[in-house]
Structure 1
């Protein structure tokens, strides 16, 4: 009979494409994972994985077996999570990917009390702004800001997120305050480098309005965008969860040009086809409650212009 730990090792290898990565996920040595894979293949009388020096790939038999093996492991995980929920306790590993700035500013403070209440829970919080592949990279879920771009994910909203144009009082005193979208063309902008263009995008009467500006700075970190705006380098379009405290303190001022950006979402998402575990549901609920409705950082920004 094939052992469950052998199935778990095969699924981890298939999802990661690497025995080394599978061993890391399972907290085992490479030799143990390789031995378990060999045992499964021996019991099935079939080769499941093509072994090359660069990366592993599934054989036709391996792909067919993975479909059911993955389902078996999901059922085991869900049954284990359900039993933990019935006992009122959460335990074991939970691996989450989240954006750097949101994680540092808001996610960490939300989950510290949660972890204190569940000392047997082993949370790995990987702060990274890159778009990860939830299943292939071994995450239980991702926390993200913006639009859900991957149709293979099931997402729940943690909070709405609005963005505001902001600049320092010193910059506005020196360069003047823009009053319309057209005025922004004469200003210097601080942009997030998620794409090559230097522009701001608004919604006006249902249509997209794109406004270009001179680049003062492009950077792939929201903290630095905020700090550059506070330093007087230019105008930035920032989520309120990043800019809220600086607006409240007066270090940044909100600029109203008569049009708004679309409200986005902060969400947690897991792979389609997998039922969310009790650990993940509890994690999401804890974060949602800590943020509040409306989010606490929106109170720092005053009414929406």
Structure 2
């Protein structure tokens, strides 16, 4: 009979790249992990991992078994979580991925609130500005800003965000303030490297695309914000990156008479993962923390604005 701890040892070894690393991840002795792997292979009647002094290599049988092992472990975790939820307690691991900038600015305090309410949940959070495939990346859920368009995924909407054209007062004094989309093309743009760099604006006749000259391309929104505040050019950024900077005057919103394409925040997870109790609870907690409308879309209170300006001076 196949034992789940052997499956866990196999999967951890493949993910970690070695039995030693897997033993550290599992908190077990290396000999225990090796024995569990060997017992699993005896039970299955097949060699899953080819061992050598330099590296481990999956055999054909191991490659065939790997996705099934992942599914078995995920279903065991889900079953445990559902049983815990039925008793009023959520527990166990929850692997998350999110963009770097949003994670630093907004996700940490929201996760703190979530974990205070569910102290038995163990969150592993990886911040990554590259595209993370929620269906195959090994995460329970991935937070995304923007359209999903993937039939393999379920997406739970968390919040909305506008995108605003912003620049430093110093830049606008030097280069002039654009009053139309046509004038934008003659300005220096700070562009997001992981997209084509196009700026899209909606109007009565449909979408208009603007392609400014790039003074900087970078794959991180916080760097874009800081580059704009330093006077390098104009950036098109979500309000969750710039609401504080606009409040304290280090960035100024530019109005060209049209609205930039907006976006929404989603918590996404594989369709075959199932709507686990932990993911549902996380989505509801994040919605509550961000608010409706989210706090980055609300005008700053006058008293707080005075405090921010006083600190900036």
Category of TM-score, reference length = shorter chain = 0.7 to 0.9
State TM-score, norm by structure 2. Answer: 0.83
Runs (4+) off by over 6 Å: none
Q: Distance in 1 between matches of 2:203 and 2:22?
A: 49
Alpha-carbon offset, residue 199 of structure 1: 4.2
**Contact 1:25 1:138 (8 Å CA) reproduced:** no
| Shift of residue 151, structure 1, vs aligned partner | 4.3
Structure 1: give runs of 5+ residues left out of the alignment: none
Match runs of 1:28-177 below 5 Å: 28-50=28-50, 56-59=57-60, 61-62=61-62, 65-66=65-66, 68-134=68-134, 137-148=137-148, 150-177=150-177
Residues 65-94 of structure 1: per-residue CA shift (max 9 Å, x gap): 456544433332122101211222222222
The aligned counterpart of 1:286 is 285
User: CA separation of 1:29/1:235 partners in 2, compared to 1, >3 Å: closer, same or farther?
Assistant: farther
Match of 1:246 in 2: 245
Deviating more after overlay: 280-289 vs 167-176: 167-176
User: For 1:23 and 1:269, how far apart are their aligned partners in 2?
Assistant: 30
Q: Is the alpha carbon distance of 1:134 and 1:171 closer, same or farther for their aligned partners in structure 2, counting shifts above 3 Å?
A: same
Does structure 1 residue 192 correspond to structure 2 residue 208?
no
Render the CA deviation track for 1:256-282: whole Å, top value 9, x for unaligned.
Answer: 223333222211122231113322222
1:261 maps to 2:260: yes
CA deviations over 1:113-172 (Å, ceiling 9, x no partner):
222233322222222212234465542221121222654332211112221111123322
Looking at structure 2, the residues matched to 215 and 71 of structure 1 have their Cα atoms a distance apart, in angstroms, of: 45
Structure 2: give runs of 5+ residues left out of the alignment.
302-313
Backbone CA RMSD of aligned residues: 2.8
Aligned residue-pair number = 299
The 1:18–1:272 alpha-carbon spacing in structure 2 relative to 1, beyond 3 Å, is farther
TM-score by length of 1: 0.85
Note if contact 1:19-1:34 (Cα within 8 Å) is conserved in structure 2.
no
**Corresponding residue number in structure 1 for 2:306:** none
1:194-244 deviations in whole A, cap 9, x for unaligned? 24x554233445654322222232222212211222222211100000011
- Is the aligned partner of 1:221 residue 2:209? no
Of 205-214 and 2-11, deviating more is 205-214
Contact 1:19 1:33 in 2 (8 A): no
| Counterpart Cα distance in 2 of 1:35 and 1:134 | 32
